[in-house]
Structure 1
Amino acid sequence: MSSNQKRIPFEEMQQVLLNLFLKYDFTPSKAQQLANTYSESTLDGINSHGINRVPLFIDYVEKGLVDINAEAEKVEGMGSIERWDGKLGPGIINGIKCTDRAIELAQKHGMGLVALRNTNHWMRGGTYGWQAANNDCIGIMFTNTQPNMPPWGGKDSRLGNNPFIVSIPRKEGHIVLDMAISQFAFGKINDYRLKGEKLPFPGGWDDNDQLSNDPKKILVKERGLPIGYWKGSALSMVLDMLATVLSLGNSTSKIAGKDLEVALSQVFICISRNNFNDTDIQERLLKEIIDFTHNVEPLKEGDRTYYPGERTVLTRERNKKEGIPVSTEIWKKVCALAN
């Protein structure tokens, strides 16, 4: 742990955040849901989309960009597919509600899809993947964002880093992929900045149009590097297209015209495993794939490979025992807001 961090017990973080959200007039149930989600994300080691995002979220609330009283509502239904309007409510509250609805549709039809428009940042996308897996559903979720990546071969940002989530329930530990389509999510880049560290690989372009691993230089213009270069550029564009046409909401091009990142479009897809009579075979096949990838000689002695979500559980268990590492600067900001 770096010198500019401290460890906070999970329960303390949860209580401080609960007090903060109550102070800003969220209902007790919404305040508790927000406090739980931000704390759980940070417990899992995702500070970039957990505690680090809280001051910015409160800033959006103060500016009236997040309607604390808004409730996402269904606007159209087509069997197992529904469109919802988030009414600019809190992204976490809307995301949990729409995932719950996708789970309900999946339990009824086998598969459920909820496309959500006019919502706000959902924070950690993996929250909804874990939620689906904990309800014995395969989950596929994605969102568009403000433009923060150039299309491959372009100079200025026109694409969002559009996080993409896939979760698969499993008795021995859920598989949860949670990734931005940029090499590093911008919250993660800022996390490295707060720790005073360089990125382990280039993460975007500096203001001289050179690829850089310096978070400060990348954050000047927010031009992230797509995963897989031209392939990530294409994937980002397709995810934006799907989120936009399925929800009839804003595309990244429309979000770009706003002063700040609001009124996003998101998709929540769930597939219920309760409709299968061969889940034991599925469990065996998943173990076969995991064992095969675990059983490889590491490049560096002492290293090992992991399946998506495996390290999250290990981090969660460690932080429950030792406390959660948090930026001292961020924790001071949060506590000042709560008091």
Structure 2
Amino acid sequence: MRITATAETEFLEEVFQKAGFSATDGTLLADTLVDADLRGISSHGIQRLDWYIRMVKDGTIKPQNEVKTLKETDTSLLLDANGNMGQIASALAIKSLIKKAKTTNIAMAVIRNSNHFGTAGYYSRLAAEAGLIGISTTNTRPLVVPTNAIEAFLGSNAFAFTFPADPHPFVFDGATSSVSSGKIMVLAKNQKPILGEWAIDRERNIIHDSKKAAEILSEVAFTEHQSGGGVLTLGGNREENSNYKGFGNSLVVELLTGILAQGSISADTNTGKHDFSQFFMVINPAFFGDLATLKANAEKMFERIRNLDHIPGTHIMIPGDREYRNYDHNSKHGVVIDPKTIQEITAIAEKFAIKLPQEIKE
């Protein structure tokens, strides 16, 4: 079923306000979810709503808490999200860094005591739209099994990098693991198999049953004791395929987030205190040369890559191409919501006495 972005936004804003968020914060949260759905990143769209509301109910997310500025200089910022949603502190951080970098050419921020922040690309893209380079990272609950291990320790640890270009910015946005847990959850909701080598059991056997994989991820992410298994690092199941490089990428994000923020590393976010950490950097490319020239040179490189000889029946896309195409298509035709998510948001609507969008009623 498809729903218009406007209808989805209005529904989400009302839900978040009923859940205790301010109108301003609710608008931001809704925008991050709708933006993900429009770009075809359904793992981080409205299907996350039920999870968010459950975390509000159990006190993991504290909607009334305000972000605290702990330290600030012309080039740096340390924020305490104060247990509220990660989107709120992250939006504040990236907007501040954009202002700083326009003057100082580089600025960075660290956030502690945070929660899930949506897609990393949402924030980096704001920097690109301002003519700047944006970097966004976060740690998560433990989901990822290091090279040769049999139990999860690392987070999926998203990393986003953007560079200003035309007709749209370069946007790389992805987990440093083989996949985010959200994609497995979407497959499990829709009773579809995992086609790729994404997840393993305790014996490091590849799992293609999405329901089984989702059960393992739920155990490792939300319980202190786990029987093993989880998501693979980039590079897959075998060290011979260089999965230690994906392991290294995940560790870099752990160092920039949980360690630098002096918060929990991913492995410890399910054993008492639940606190994610985020890291952001903004760079002004105009310091190095004329911005229009830099953008034109980047676009020429992308076009050369898009036009390389390729396998018949396929085409080459630069990171960001697919998402912007999805955005244009879904803006016109609406975003897809799976049946299981419809059931979840119907229950949420009943809980808060909110009317469902007309498209869902039909």
What is the TM-score of this pair, normalised by structure 1? 0.92
Give the one of 112, 119, 126 matched to 1:124: 119
* Residue equivalent to 1:287: 299
**Aligned partner of 1:331: which letter?**
I
Aligned with 1:302 (options 299, 310, 313): 313
Cα deviations by residue, 1:101-133 (Å, 9 ceiling, x for unpaired)? 121221221111011111000021111122221
Distance 1:296 1:200, change over 3 A: farther
Q: In structure 2, what is the Cα distance between the partners aligned to 1:104 and 1:287?
A: 25
Q: Trace 1:1-339 onto structure 2 (pairs within 5 A).
A: 6-222=1-217, 223-228=230-235, 229-258=243-272, 262-299=274-311, 301-338=312-349, 339=354
Equivalent residues of 2:32, 2:118 under 8 A apart = no
Specify whether residues 34 and 154 from structure 1 end up closer, same or farther in structure 2 by C-alpha distance, changes over 3 A only. same
Secondary structure (helix, strand or coil) at the match of 1:270 reads: strand
Return closer, same or farther for 1:284/1:266 CA change in 2, 3 Å cut-off: same
Kindly provide the amino acid, as one letter, of the partner of residue 224 in structure 1. V
Partner Cα separation in structure 2 for residue 243 and residue 66 of structure 1: 19
| C-alpha displacement of 1:160 | 1.3
AA in 1 matched with 2:115 = N
Structure 2 unaligned residues grouped into runs of 5+? 218-229, 236-242, 355-362
Retained in 1: the 8 A contact 2:112–2:278?
Answer: yes
Partners of 1:77 and 1:36 lie apart in 2 by 27
Equivalent position SS for 2:293? helix
Inter-partner Cα distance in structure 2 for 1:11 and 1:82:
34
Cα deviation, 1:138-186, whole Å, max 9, x if unaligned, reads: 1111111121112101111111111111011113211111110111110
Q: Deviations over 1:280-311 (max 9, x none)?
A: 22122212221221112332x32101111111
Could you say what secondary structure the match of 1:224 adopts? Answer: strand
Q: Alpha-carbon deviation of 1:276?
A: 5.0
* Cα deviation, residue 275, structure 1: 4.0
Q: 1:162-214, CA deviations, whole angstroms, 9 ceiling, x for partnerless residues?
A: 11110111132111111101111100111122232223311010355301233
2:166/2:296 contact within 8 Å kept: no
Q: Helix, strand or coil: the match of 1:247?
A: coil
Q: Which amino acid aligns with 1:227?
A: L
Q: Report the secondary structure of 2:145's partner residue.
A: coil
CA contact (8 A) 1:255 1:263 kept: yes
How far apart, in 1, do the equivalents of 2:245 and 2:313 lie? 32
Q: Structure 1 counterpart of 2:36, which letter? A: S
* Range 84-93 or range 248-257, more displaced: 248-257
The answer (yes or no) to whether the contact 1:41–1:49 under 8 Å persists in 2 is: yes
- Retained in 2: the 8 A contact 1:16–1:335? no
Which AA in structure 2 matches 1:254? Answer: D
Contact 1:87–1:119 (Cα < 8 Å) also in 2 = yes
Count residues in correspondence. Answer: 331
Looking at structure 2, the residues matched to 335 and 131 of structure 1 have their Cα atoms a distance apart, in angstroms, of 32
- Give the secondary structure class of the aligned counterpart of 2:251: helix
Once residues 161 and 256 of structure 1 are traced to their aligned partners in structure 2, the CA distance between those partners, rounded to angstroms, is 14
Question: What is the aligned-residue identity percentage?
Answer: 25
Q: Could you tell me whether the CA contact under 8 Å between 1:104 and 1:112 is conserved in 2?
A: no
Give distance in 2, aligned partners of 1:219 and 1:93.
28
Distance in 2 (CA, whole Å) between partners of 1:316 and 1:253 is: 35
Alpha-carbon offset, residue 273 of structure 1: 3.7
8 Å Cα contact 2:77-2:93 kept in structure 1: no
Contact preservation (8 Å) 1:83, 1:246: no
Normalised by the length of structure 2, the TM-score is 0.87
8 Å Cα contact 1:167-1:176 kept in structure 2: yes
